[in-house]
Amino acid sequence: MKGFHLVRRTNVKLWQRILFYVIGILVSLVIGAILLSTLDIDPIKYYRQMMTIGLIENKYPEKAIEGLLKIFVPLLIVSLALSLSYRMKFWNVGGEGEFIVGAIIAAVIAFKCSSLPGPLVILLMSLAAFIASGLIGLAVAFLKVKFNTNETLVTLMINYIALYVITYIADTKKSWNFFLDKESARPKFAKFPDPAKMPGIKIGNVNLLYSVIIALALGVIIYFYLKSTKQGYEISVVGDSTDTARYAGMNVGRIVMRTVFLSAALVGMAGAFSASTAATISTSITNNVGWTGVIVAWLSKLSTPGIAVVSLLISVLQYGCQAASVSYGSVDHNFADLLQGVILFSVLVADFALNFRIVRRKEADNV
């Protein structure tokens, strides 16, 4: 590119941003459509069925809403939680592991404390999961602050260690293993006792779980936490410039550790919610939310309202694919992952096009 170079563009207008993103998403859908047509699937029909998440032509549309929310709640909480770390440029990719640890700890409480009244059990489950996963985050943050240990790789390793812990619990039929169903001959996770099940309120035909309300409330709380509290303020300053944070007398290490604790703890709590909602745990309890959360956080540029919107859209995508797989057996939830990835890449290209422009170099007249 002789004679050309890139110049950073300033003052991108909001409408330009939206326009570029919409184009990016459209391009992604076109790529998806091409892939679908290779399987002899009519993309328009498929997309219609996907976007309506099985609400129409369905005997029980309320089930569709409930199913969507079951995907939405963990995704929202995990994305919000991860975004807290990313705001400080701390690469917590341990969502999967933290989620599993939260779910396991919640299950312990569910089985061991079932004599307590319902709401209390769920509160305890959430709290225990919150603390357990939080401590993992704290440990990783401590290593990062103290020894500059690579947090990406550490959290990555923790994901798999946690995965094999839950696999071990799932596969080991032993008398001590209270997680498993005593009745079943093959190892199978037991159902939680009733008090540990996530309750809900009926709105029309829809059973609206409290976890949905809590997740939404959490979104609002995190929004205000970041926007209005001293701790939230510290996060923004540290995330913007650690030099400036030190100049203002902030203890950067402590702020990082506190925030990563919170980040991991919330992921753990989402794990507890998922366990309580399903009234059991499984080795696939995360439903890849730890990975999807990274994509959602990134797509929404770490903005809290953005995360709410994007995680809803991604949930529609994921649940829609599930719903559509009823009619299209050969396309399953993986198509949602595929689209997700393509959308993220399209948005990255859109961002680049928004932020840079190519400039031709001027040559002075030869004298």
At how many degrees (to 10) do helices 95-112 and 61-87 cross?
A: 120
Give least dist CB 239 to another protein, A.
8
Cβ proximity to another protein: between 205 and 334 the closer is 334
361 binding another protein? (CB under 8 A): yes
39 binding another protein? (CB under 8 A): yes
Which residues, numbered 326-355, are part of the site for another protein (CB under 8 A)? 329-332, 334-338, 340-342, 344-345, 348-349, 352
Binding mask 56-75 for another protein (x = CB under 8 A): --------------------
Give least dist CB 67 to another protein, A.
20
Which residues, numbered 248-287, are part of the site for another protein (CB under 8 A)? 248-249
Which residues, numbered 126-185, are part of the site for another protein (CB under 8 A)? 143, 147-150, 152-154, 156-158, 160-161, 163-165, 167-168, 171-172
232 binding another protein? (CB under 8 A): yes
Q: Report how far residue 227's alpha carbon sits from residue 113's, in angstroms, rounded to the nearest whole number.
A: 37
Contact in structure between 121 and 195 (CB atoms under 8 Å): yes
Cβ proximity to another protein: between 160 and 178 the closer is 160
Helix (H) or strand (E) segment spanning residue 68 = helix 61-87
Q: Which stretch binds another protein (CB under 8 A): 1-9, 66-74, 121-129, 273-281?
A: 1-9
Give least dist CB 143 to another protein, A.
6
- Closest by alpha carbon to 191, among 128, 111, 259? 111
Q: Report how far residue 118's alpha carbon sits from residue 194's, in angstroms, rounded to the nearest whole number.
A: 8
At how many degrees (to 10) do helices 252-278 and 118-147 cross?
A: 150
Cβ proximity to another protein: between 124 and 339 the closer is 339
Give least dist CB 209 to another protein, A.
27
Residue 228 burial (CB < 10 Å; 0-12/13-18/19+)?
exposed
3-state secondary structure 283-351: CCCCCCHHHHHHHHHHHCCCCHHHHHHHHHHHHHHHHHHHHHCCCCCCCCCHHHHHHHHHHHHHHHHHH
Give least dist CB 192 to another protein, A.
23
Q: Report how far residue 168's alpha carbon sits from residue 253's, in angstroms, rounded to the nearest whole number.
A: 35
